Chain A
Amino acid sequence: MPLINSPAELEKLRKGILAERDPEKRVVSICAGAGCVASGANEVIAAFGEELEKKGLDAHVDAKGTGCPGFCEQGPIVVIYPEEICYLQVTPGDVAEIVTETIEGDKVVERLLYLDSATGERATLEPEIPFYKHQLRNVIGDNIKIDPKSIEDYLVVGGYSALAKALSFMTPEDVLNEVKAANLRGRGGGGFPAGQKWEGTRDAPEPTKYVIVNADEGDPGAFMDRAVLEGNPHSILEGLALGAFAVGANEGYIYVRQEYPLAVENVLLAIEKAREYGLLGENILGSGFDFKVIVHKGAGAFVCGESTALMTALEGRVGEPRPKYVRSNIKGLWQKPSVLNNVETWANVPLIINKGADWFTQIGTEGSKGTKIFSLVGKIVNTGLVEVPMGMTLREIIYTIGGGIPDGKEFKAVQTGGPSGGCIPEEMLDLEVGFDELTKAGSMMGSGGMIVMDEDTCMVDVARYFMDFLCDESCGKCVPCREGLRQMLKLLTNITEGRGKEGDLELLEELSEVAGEAALCALGKSAPNPFRSTLKYFRDEYEAHIKEQRCPALSCKELIAFYIAPDKCSACGNCFKKCPADAIVGGKKLIHIVDQEKCTKCGNCFEVCPSRFSAVTKISGVPVPPPVPEEERTITGKSKEK
């Protein structure tokens, strides 16, 4: 591999790679992100390799595993270039047909195309799929074109041109000013302006400075950073190098969680390749700028996503937040000025340097510029990653892109911002998504998790779930967090189990104030948010649990009972067969009865009761009607199957 000594040589190399690649040549991109791999993408990749070789097409067609394009619900995803034909849920068994029909015969395999369940229409090309059509994929758009293990693939899409531009035509101040003018705000949680943070580090008198990537993505249900790390690691390295150049750092760290093995592998490989080309290391592109990157694997503590805890962990100590009132951009890692930004923030930097702050600020709202990646999960038709311009409404994200709520259920709330965020109710679905807008609504942007909840979700139980998560993940240093959350969890558990009492909500509010005001770090301060926001918008659910021992969502096990409506039961026996606790009193042509003493509330009977009968119901807050007397149990006049 040749060492590149100047921006001109980089362009020559890029042209060389492009010249070797025929734009008309078929490329089969198969998503090799964690989600698709879990649904068998590696087997599909292998099958393409074998099939193409068998047919002697391997010289004419490239089949490669790529980064994640986001439509995880429909994986494994295959996109065939140059047409951009998109096949969904591809199995190894489909590969021979795709090769024969599409690669050799220029025909599409209809059954593998996206099917719009509302219109019954199919979409052939990737950009035509509604899930993608309404997105603006500046950061993750290249994922499906890139084999993350190939630096050449990144160069083909213009990779490292921003770094070359900065090193040859810009001063560090220019780079800093561009990022400041772009008003790029941190994508990891707080939304602090990146340029302002960088400036503090740049102006700090201490000569040794560091740049750090926070890749300790730990919010339940969030995988935005994972997709960028796994799918386009060079974009992060390029952004980090630009940041280092701007602030005057020569060393960078990537703190990545160990639970992301593929991300660790791809990032390490990317660093090695970039070093071989001289895009990292000493005297990068002949500019005199030296920069090396070190990967640090986190040991699985959520709190290490907090900036000072992360730096403490990087120093080799227990990852606990620092109590100091000094900004880490002035005194951070090893007491040196350190810029810490999240993965997505860094990945935006090359775009800003290449296209300019004016381009970037055209996208988004007044206070929140650019795009944001969200992981759309929970009770949603199209689970996956979506990248949209800031200012898009929650309704557009959930319904237009996400396809709405499955199984005809009603939307109830969307939880944004992870455990530090909150739940937003239906009446606020037209809220424009932005840092300040979400905070005002009692939630936060956080790193971009979006958990959609339907009518079957109990909001008290949601608060209890996040509190349980935080009790486990608190570092345990300060009292308002460690002890306050312990008590909050007890109270919330009691409420969901029917042991809530008068005064519990006031006590929870009081503990929320103590944690919110007096906890040591941002994590502890924001820990009451899931409770506070659910109380704000769903107080009636709390009150139903406490005053009536009733769970309105029919979800809290201790507060519900399964009951078979005698007039609806047709003695089909499904529930009887599926009950693991022998709690159903059955019998041929006899109305079935749930023995409440034996019932473990697993819900199997409810699931298997045919919808044409809907005899099994959940009840809450009222006594279970007494069982039908034995002499009245015989079903007359109706057959087993209607």
Chain B
Amino acid sequence: MSEIILQIDGKEVRAEEGMTILEAALGAGITIPTLCHHEKLEPFGSCRLCSVEVGTGDRAKLVVACVYPVEEKLVVRTGSEKIDRIRKVILELYLAHAPDASSLQELALEYGADKDRFEKEASFCIHCGLCVRYCNEVKKKNAVGFVDRGTRKEICFVPEIASRECWDCKECFPLCPTEALQAAYVLIEALKFPRTP
């Protein structure tokens, strides 16, 4: 693996080929906010909170740090007026679903996000996919997945698998960035499903 030198927020950062901007930044002690990222899981790129700017001048563009690979001499800015504005709106959109989630409230404070900006639609779930991906990639059980698409998308345990696997695992519960309770609720919902004999 060859070493790559890039610049993050004006600071020279050493990274290895194949790393993402997020990994390189973390290694250099630079914080980039994330919600759907987990070091054990493949990058998902759904929350877009880790959006950063790469390139300069006219060629500057917004990318997500959790996916974008490091390049030699890449110039990265992890914060700017525009980035902060986008993060604020993303948090506000999330807060309409899970206004009391502590992880969201901390970030909301940092970015000045108003939890009441959008009409509440309590669903807890913010579709970060941590439970779904953990169950699939780490536990390899696929007991929980996404159903439907677009604005109707939700997470759902598969009753047949969940009744067999979940009681003794529940490792996805603490991963949930909103509230672990909601995972428990969705699981129990699924288990109400009449079991096939």
Which residues of A does B touch, CB under 8 Å?
A: 301, 303, 318, 323-325, 471-480, 482-487, 490, 510-511, 513-514, 517-520
Residues of A within 8 A of B64 (CB): 323, 520
Over the window 94-109 of chain B, the binary record of Cβ atoms lying under 8 Å from chain A Cβ atoms (1 yes, 0 no) is 1011000000000000
Q: A476-B149, A476-B153, A482-B151 are in contact. Are A325 and B68 (CB under 8 A)?
A: yes
**How many angstroms between the C-alpha atoms of A588 and B43 in the bound complex?**
74
Cβ proximity bits B15-28 to A, threshold 8 Å, 1 near / 0 not: 00000000000000
Q: Is B45 an interface residue (CB 8 A)?
A: yes
Assess A484 versus B67: contact at CB under 8 Å? Given A473-B150, A490-B119.
Answer: no
Q: A475-B149, A511-B89, A518-B62 are in contact. List 17 more A-B contacts (CB 8 A).
A: A301-B149, A323-B67, A471-B151, A472-B150, A476-B150, A478-B46, A478-B47, A480-B86, A482-B150, A482-B153, A483-B94, A487-B96, A510-B85, A513-B86, A514-B86, A517-B82, A518-B51
For this complex, 21 residue pairs linking A to B, each with C-beta atoms less than 8 Å apart, are: A301-B149, A473-B149, A474-B149, A474-B151, A476-B148, A476-B149, A478-B48, A479-B93, A479-B94, A479-B127, A482-B150, A483-B93, A490-B119, A513-B85, A513-B86, A514-B89, A517-B51, A517-B82, A518-B48, A519-B48, A520-B46
Residue B152 at the A interface, CB < 8 A? Answer: yes
Shortest C-beta distance, B8 to chain A (Å), equals 17
Query: In the assembled complex, how far is the CB of residue A537 from the closest CB belonging to chain B, in whole angstroms?
Result: 25
B173 lies within 8 A of chain A by Cβ: no
A323-B63 Cα distance, complex, nearest whole Å:
10
For residue A497, give the distance in angstroms from its CB to the closest CB of chain B: 15
Contact A517/B86 with A325-B67, A479-B46, A482-B127 known, Cβ cut-off 8 Å: yes
**Which residues, 46 to 69 on B, are CB-close (under 8 Å) to A?**
46-48, 51, 62-64, 67-69
A568 to chain B, nearest CB (A): 44
Shortest distance from the beta carbon of A487 to any chain B beta carbon, whole Å: 5
**B94, B96, B146, B151, most chain A CB atoms within 10 A:** B151
In the A-B complex, the 4 residue pairs with the closest CB atoms = A323-B45, A476-B153, A483-B93, A474-B150
Q: Bits for B125-160, please: 1 = Cβ < 8 Å to A, else 0.
A: 011000000000000000000101111110000000
What's the nearest-Cβ distance from chain B to residue A312, in Å?
Answer: 13
Q: How far is the CA of A390 from the CA of B93 in the complex (A)?
A: 42
Across the interface, do B119 and A477 meet the contact criterion of CB distance under 8 Å? no
Are B146's CB and A318's CB within 8 A? yes
Residue of A nearest to B126 (CB): A479
Q: CB-CB < 8 A to A514: which residues of B?
A: 86, 89-90
Q: Which residues of B have CB within 8 Å of A325?
A: 63, 67-69
Residue pair A475, B150 in contact (C-beta under 8 Å): yes
* Chain B residues within an 8 Å CB radius of A510: 85, 89
Query: For the complex, is B44 an interface residue (Cβ under 8 Å from A)?
Result: yes
Using Cβ atoms and an 8 Å threshold, which residues of chain B touch A477? 46, 127
Instruction: Please indicate the chain B residues that have their CB under 8 angstroms from the CB of A479 in the complex.
Output: 46-48, 90, 93-94, 126-127
Chain B residues contacting A486 (CB-CB under 8 Å) are 151
Roughly how many angstroms separate A475 CA and B147 CA in the complex, as a whole number?
11
Chain A residues with CB under 8 Å of B96's CB are 483, 487
Q: Which residues of A contact B193 (CB under 8 A)?
A: none
Q: How far is the CA of A582 from the CA of B68 in the complex (A)?
A: 63
User: In whole angstroms, how far apart are the Cα atoms of A303 and B149 in the complex?
Assistant: 10
Chain B nearest CB: distance from A276 CB in Å? 40
Which of the residues B51, B118, B148, B153 comes within 8 Å of A487, measured between beta carbons? B118
Residues of the A chain whose Cβ atoms lie less than 8 Å from the Cβ of B45:
323, 478, 520
Contact of B62 with A476 in the complex, beta carbons under 8 Å? no
Contact A471 B48 (CB under 8 A): no
Q: Which of A323, A474, A484 contacts B93 (CB 8 A)?
A: A484
- Distance of B124 from chain A, by nearest CB (Å): 14
Chain B: interface residue count, which band? 20 to 34
When C-beta atoms are compared, the residue in chain B nearest to A321 turns out to be B45
Residues of chain B lying within 8 A (CB to CB) of residue A484: 89, 93
Q: Which of B47, B67, B146, B151 interacts with A324 by CB under 8 Å?
A: B67
Q: Which residues of A contact B48 (CB under 8 A)?
A: 478-480, 518-520
How far is it, in angstroms, between the C-alpha of A318 and the C-alpha of B67 when the chains are bound?
20
Q: Tell me which residues across on chain B come within 8 A of A301, comparing CB atoms.
A: 149
- Report A-chain residues with C-beta under 8 Å of the C-beta of B44: 323
Kindly provide the distance from the CB of A152 to the nearest chain B CB, expressed in whole angstroms.
44
Contacts of B82 in A (CB 8 A): 517
From B49, which residue of chain A is reached at the shortest CB distance? A479
Q: Which residues of A contact B62 (CB under 8 A)?
A: 517-518
The answer to whether A487 and B149 have CB atoms under 8 Å apart is no
Chain A residues with Cβ below 8 Å from B93 are 479-480, 483-484, 487
Q: Bound complex: CA of A517 vs CA of B148, how far in Å?
A: 25
Find the B residue at minimum CB distance from A486: B151
CB neighbours (8 Å) of A475 from chain B are 149-150, 153
In the assembly, what is the distance between CA of A487 and CA of B90, in Å? 12
Contacts of A518 in B (CB 8 A): 48, 51, 62, 86, 90
- Provide the bound-state CA to CA distance between A482 and B46, in Å: 10
A471 to B64, CA, bound (A): 23
Once bound together, how far apart are the Cα atoms of A323 and B22, in whole Å? Answer: 14
User: B50 to chain A: closest CB distance in Å?
Assistant: 10
Shortest distance in angstroms between B111's beta carbon and chain A's nearest beta carbon? 13
State the CA gap A157–B132 with chains docked (Å): 54
Measured between beta carbons, the chain B residues less than 8 angstroms from A483 are: 90, 93-94, 96-97
Contacts of A323 in B (CB 8 A): 43-46, 64, 67
A472 vs B153: C-alpha distance when bound (angstroms): 10
Contacts of B46 in A (CB 8 A): 323, 477-479, 520
Which residue of chain B has its CB nearest to the CB of A518? B48
Chain A residues, CB < 8 A from B69 = 325
* Residues of chain B with a CB closer than 8 A to A482's CB: 127, 150-151, 153
Verify B89–A476 contact, CB threshold 8 A: no
Whether A476 contacts B119 by the Cβ 8 Å rule is no
CA distance A520 to B82 in the complex (A): 17
Residue of B nearest to A484 (CB): B93
| Neighbouring B residues of A478 by C-beta, 8 Å | 45-48
Complex Cα distance, B89 from A490, in Å, reads 16
With a CB–CB cut-off of 8 A, which chain A residues contact B68?
Answer: 325
Bound Cα distance A180, B82 (Å): 38
- The residues of A that contact B126 with a CB separation of less than 8 Å are 479
Give Cα A513–Cα B62 distance, bound, in whole angstroms. 12
CA gap between A442 and B83 in the complex, in Å: 24
Chain B residue nearest in CB terms to A324: B67
Instruction: Point out which of A301, A325, A513 has the most chain B C-beta atoms below 10 A from its C-beta.
Output: A325
Min CB–CB distance A153 → chain B (angstroms): 41
**Least CB separation from A507: chain B residue:** B117
Check A476–B152 contact: CB distance below 8 A.
yes
Docked CA distance A473–B151 (Å): 9
Chain A positions within 8 Å of B51 at CB level: 517-518
**A-side contacts of B118, CB under 8 Å:** 487
CA distance A551 to B146 in the complex (A): 40
Which of B46, B67, B126, B152: most chain A CB closer than 10 A? B46
Residues of B within 8 A of A490 (CB): 119
Shortest CB-to-CB span from B154 to chain A, Å, is: 9
Q: Report the minimum CB–CB distance from A300 to chain B (whole Å).
A: 11
B63: chain A residues at CB < 8 Å are 325
User: Chain B contacts of A517 at CB under 8 A?
Assistant: 51, 62, 82, 86
